[in-house]
Amino acid sequence: MHRIIATQHNTTFSLSLCVCVCVSGSEAPGVCEERDLSSETTGSPIIYNPHTALSVEKQRQRLPVFKHRNNILYLVESFQTVVIVGETGSGKSTQIPQYLLEAGWAADGKVIGVTQPRRVAATSVAGRVAEERGAYLGHEVGYSIRFDDCSDPHATRIKFLTDGMLVREMMSDPLLKKYSVIMLDEAHERTLYTDIAIGLLKKVMLYLLSIISQMSTCVRFFFPLFSLSLQIQKKRRDLRLIVASATLDAKKFHDFFNLNESGDPNKDTCAILTVEGRTFPVDIFYTVSPVPDYVKATVETVMKIHETEEDGDVLAFLTGQEEVEKVVSMLQEQARTLSRYGMKKHLCVLPMYAGLPYNEQMRVFERMPPTVRKVVVATNIAETSITINGMVFVIDCAFVKLRAYNPLTAIESLIVTPISKASACQRAGRAGRNRAGKCFRLYTEEDFEKLPESTVPEMQRSNLAPVILQLKALGIDNVLRFSFLSPPPAQSMVQALELLYALGGLDQYGRLTDPMGVRMAEFPLSPMFAKMLLESGNFGCSKEIVTIAAMMQIQNIFVAPHNQKKSAARERRKFAVAEGDHLTMLNVYEAFIKHQKSSQWCQDHFLHYKGLLRAVAVREQLRHLLNKFKVPRTSSEGDPDVILRCIVSGFFANAARMHHSGSYRVVFNEVVQTSKYYMRDVTAVESSWLVELAPHFYKQAKHGSLSSKRAKVF
């Protein structure tokens, strides 16, 4: 079955294969999987309606996962770990926790914990399950995400939480004593925290069992950790783990968690079960020859679809804001031309990326009249984070902007990278949610075959300093021997250990320092921010620093609607100060508070209202931690230098020279690579401060210039 579709210009596709991907409805039927853009926090109780009870029960039984119910329960009973390959639309996320509850896994006050990589997923799936059970959200069924704990320590039996939250919980309850079963959902996404949780759970469940028998009482005396492992052995052999993953990774998870070394499959401690989804076919088309410019090819392909294909909305994937805006404006131009020539069917072209102002984001979810074809041009946000219904055609450029980490320079950056096959299939699947669809890949089938099977896990392309600090705080002394599902580069580990040592979080033996390291680990921030906060009392500016730290956690403080870019830039300059971005942010926050957190004021000054509200919440959490550690509330009373020096005390490792000839130096928060390297959140500092505040990290060279232990990048 080969069909050639020639586009107007030179992007030519051939139909190459027909795969079944994706589904009717989401895994949580009835739940809007869309990111809840309307509120930061949810938690209003769902009222039980007895009239819908029967139909809910019938709906549950119609889900593909239902016929595997007994098998799943049997496997969970018989194996410590069960890997469930649940295709999209199988109903695994909402149903398996309920099966476990009904089978008695939450007896004796135990809790069934289900993790999700994203906050919205945790809250929306919890909402759906509560509704199915006719329960108030927060009672029998609850959720726990940062800033929003909607669970009852006594009543909640099924708890949905973000994977990051589970790792946090392990800091106070390393054995996860309150849980009988943990289900790691969407484990194939391999987020940083899912991977940390996976390693920790293996340690809790399996790893220690083998060492215990080899240790003598004498060793026990000298290694207090050993008593912990005894506890684990006694108490947590009952803990069950379910790993919900895509097909590709199932074997890897199985091998990781299977502790059976006897070679006798009857002694396996891990099992795999596959649950089919509900799928619509998606035809995949490849270009006949490589595309020289995927931005142009995207525009051509949209127009070709519009002219020759039947009804159905279009979703195009690009890598960043700039590309999205460019394609949107090119398409809008073409759409105007079409309407001038009286084409009956209209095009409505909409951009979608995380930095877009809220109102503009919401437009992609609006329904269009039948005479209008919606075209959404999006970044990777549309691959997993949000779902737009009604998409029938997908255009995939084969690229994505990914975080990369260079352990030699200790620089994290964003780089345009070819996607993986798994990612390409996920994108294609977006065309088949409501009916059969088509996916146009702007690359040849040959090039598709060259793509890597799956995306490199975040763990292997991140700065590991926050990870190592948390592991140390969890009592993992030898992080180099921690059982990582995918071990990160050794150089990244070394780099992280060095940075943590320079920050004073670790001593020369790599042990967590007390109190500095212990306290740093408690902050939900990177170690540099934590250090800066903990030092702020000494510098006499904790009030300002806590605001700056909170503001820097918020992306896109300044919004620029595309028809008002000029005035937005003008407003933005009003807040800017010569010292740099950190003090600019401080200005914005203080002005926001002065204007009673008014949303109208934000709109007038092109500021991100919800972002600022989040900064207020983050600030409160950080303030709470500073109080806990008895960091005094002090203010610099308008003196910028103490604030800048305090910033340097945390960020000295991120120092750069503004110009090779000058003594003008800056500290920065992060680096972004587009056409050039850009540093984000930059502040000017005196080079002498670097030597003064981090003498172990910088040394003064002969001619007054600095040399750092790090390789230079810029």
C-alpha 166, offset from chain centre: 14
Beta-bridge partner residues of 406: 411
**Closer to DNA by Cβ: residue 27 or 283:** 27
**Closer to DNA by Cβ: residue 165 or 364:** 165
**Closer to DNA by Cβ: residue 305 or 414:** 414
Instruction: Please state the closest distance from residue 707 (CB atom) to DNA, in A.
Output: 27
Beta-bridge partner residues of 666: 656, 684
Q: Report d(CA 646, CA 644) in Å as an integer.
A: 5
Q: 614 by DSSP, 3-state: which?
A: helix
Instruction: Please state the closest distance from residue 559 (CB atom) to DNA, in A.
Output: 10
**Closer to DNA by Cβ: residue 15 or 456:** 456
Q: Report d(CA 469, CA 50) in Å as an integer.
A: 50
Alpha-helical regions (H) of 238-320: 247-257, 294-308
Instruction: Please state the closest distance from residue 304 (CB atom) to DNA, in A.
Output: 26
Rg, Å, the chain Cα set: 27
Per-residue burial over 31-44, b = 16 or more CB atoms within 10 Å of its CB, e = otherwise: bebbbbeeeebbbe
Strands (E) located in 353-502: 372-378, 391-396, 399-406, 411-418, 437-441
Instruction: Please state the closest distance from residue 327 (CB atom) to DNA, in A.
Output: 13
C-alpha 280, offset from chain centre: 28
* Helix H or strand E segment including 346: strand 346-352
**Closer to DNA by Cβ: residue 76 or 671:** 671
CB 586 within 8 A of CB 548: yes
Instruction: Please state the closest distance from residue 151 (CB atom) to DNA, in A.
Output: 13
Q: Which residues contact 279 (CB under 8 A, 6 or more apart)?
A: 20, 21, 22, 23, 87, 88, 89, 432
Beta-bridge partner residues of 416: 401
Q: Which residues contact 179 (CB under 8 A, 6 or more apart)?
A: 110, 111, 112, 113, 239
Beta-bridge partner residues of 440: 285, 395
* Residues found near DNA in the complex (CB under 7 A): 35, 117-120, 145-146, 162, 164-165, 168, 191-193, 319-322, 353-355, 379-381, 385-386, 400-403, 414, 466, 524-526, 553, 555, 558, 569, 572, 672, 674-675, 678, 680
**Closer to DNA by Cβ: residue 95 or 379:** 379
**Closer to DNA by Cβ: residue 288 or 381:** 381
Q: Report d(CA 428, CA 533) in Å as an integer.
A: 45
Instruction: Please state the closest distance from residue 258 (CB atom) to DNA, in A.
Output: 29
**Closer to DNA by Cβ: residue 596 or 675:** 675
**Closer to DNA by Cβ: residue 229 or 463:** 463
Instruction: Please state the closest distance from residue 555 (CB atom) to DNA, in A.
Output: 6
Q: Report d(CA 204, CA 245) in Å as an integer.
A: 21
**Closer to DNA by Cβ: residue 250 or 391:** 391
DSSP type of residue 505: S
Instruction: Please state the closest distance from residue 185 (CB atom) to DNA, in A.
Output: 13
Instruction: Please state the closest distance from residue 522 (CB atom) to DNA, in A.
Output: 10
Instruction: Please state the closest distance from residue 36 (CB atom) to DNA, in A.
Output: 10
Q: 273 by DSSP, 3-state: which?
A: strand
